[in-house]
Amino acid sequence: ARRRRKAPPPPPPPPPPPSSSSIPFLSLLLLYTYSSSSPPPPPVAFAVPLSPTPPSPHIRMRRAGFRSYEDYLRHQLNKTLDPRLRRVWATRDWHRKVDAFARAFAALRDDDGGLLSNASRALCVGARLGQEVAALRLVGVRDAVGIDLAPAPPLVVRGDFHAQPFANDTFDFEFSNVFDHALYPDRFVAEIERTLRPGGVAVLHVAVHRRGDKYSANDLLDVQGLVGLFRRSDVIRISKVDAFGLDTEVILRKKRSSP
Ligand SMILES: *[C@@H]1O[C@H](CO)[C@@H](O)[C@H](O)[C@H]1NC(C)=O
Ligand SMILES: *[C@@H]1O[C@H](CO)[C@@H](O)[C@H](O)[C@H]1NC(C)=O
Ligand SMILES: *[C@@H]1O[C@H](CO)[C@@H](O)[C@H](O)[C@H]1NC(C)=O
pLDDT band at 57 (very low <50, low <70, confident <90, very high): confident
Looking at the structure of the chain, the number of domains it has is 1
- 64-121 confidence digits (pLDDT tens): 668 888 889 999 999 899 999 999 999 999 999 999 999 999 999 999 899 999 999 9
pLDDT at site 43: 52
Asked whether residue 32 is assigned to any structural domain, the reply reads no
Asked whether residue 49 is assigned to any structural domain, the reply reads no
- 167-224 confidence digits (pLDDT tens): 999 999 999 999 999 999 999 999 999 999 999 999 999 999 877 778 888 999 999 9
Asked whether residue 217 is assigned to any structural domain, the reply reads yes
CA–centroid distance, 115 to ligand 3, in Å, is: 24
pLDDT band at 259 (very low <50, low <70, confident <90, very high): low
Asked whether residue 151 is assigned to any structural domain, the reply reads yes
pLDDT band at 24 (very low <50, low <70, confident <90, very high): very low
pLDDT band at 42 (very low <50, low <70, confident <90, very high): low
Asked whether residue 10 is assigned to any structural domain, the reply reads no
Greater confidence (200 vs 259) lies with 200
Mutate to test the pocket of ligand 2, among 105, 118, 136, 137 (most ligand atoms within 8 A of CB): 118
The pocket around ligand 3, CB under 6 angstroms, is made up of: 168, 194
pLDDT at site 252: 98
140 lines ligand 2 (CB under 6 A): yes
- Say yes or no to pLDDT of 228 above 90: yes
- Say yes or no to pLDDT of 54 above 80: no
CATH code (residue 123): 3.40.50.150
pLDDT at site 9: 43
- Residue 85: which domain range? 65-254
- Say yes or no to pLDDT of 4 above 50: no
Asked whether residue 222 is assigned to any structural domain, the reply reads yes
pLDDT band at 31 (very low <50, low <70, confident <90, very high): very low
DSSP the chain: ----SSPPPPPPP-PPPGGGSSSHHHHHHHHHHHHHT-PPPPP---SS---PPPPBTTEEE--TT-SSHHHHHHHHHHHHT-HHHHHHHHTTTHHHHHHHHHHHHHHHHHSTT----TT--EEEET-TTTHHHHHHHHTT--SEEEEESS-BTTTEEE-BTTB-SS-TT-EEEEEES-GGG-SSHHHHHHHHHHHEEEEEEEEEEE-BSS---TT-SEEESSTHHHHTT-SSEEEEEEEEEEETTEEEEEEEEE-SS--
- Say which ligand is closest to the CA of 38: 1
Nearest ligand 2 atom to alpha carbon 139? 4
Q: Which residues contact 22 (CB under 8 A, 6 or more apart)?
A: none
Asked whether residue 27 is assigned to any structural domain, the reply reads no
- Say which ligand is closest to the CA of 168: 3
pLDDT at site 112: 86
24 lines ligand 2 (CB under 6 A): no
Greater confidence (57 vs 174) lies with 174
Asked whether residue 37 is assigned to any structural domain, the reply reads no
Q: Which long-range contacts (CB under 8 A, 24 or more apart) does 111-120 make?
A: 113/236, 115/173, 115/201, 115/203, 115/236, 115/251, 116/141, 116/172, 116/173, 116/201, 117/141, 117/172, 118/142, 119/143, 119/172, 120/171, 120/172, 120/173
Greater confidence (13 vs 157) lies with 157
The pocket around ligand 1, CB under 6 angstroms, is made up of: 74-75, 78
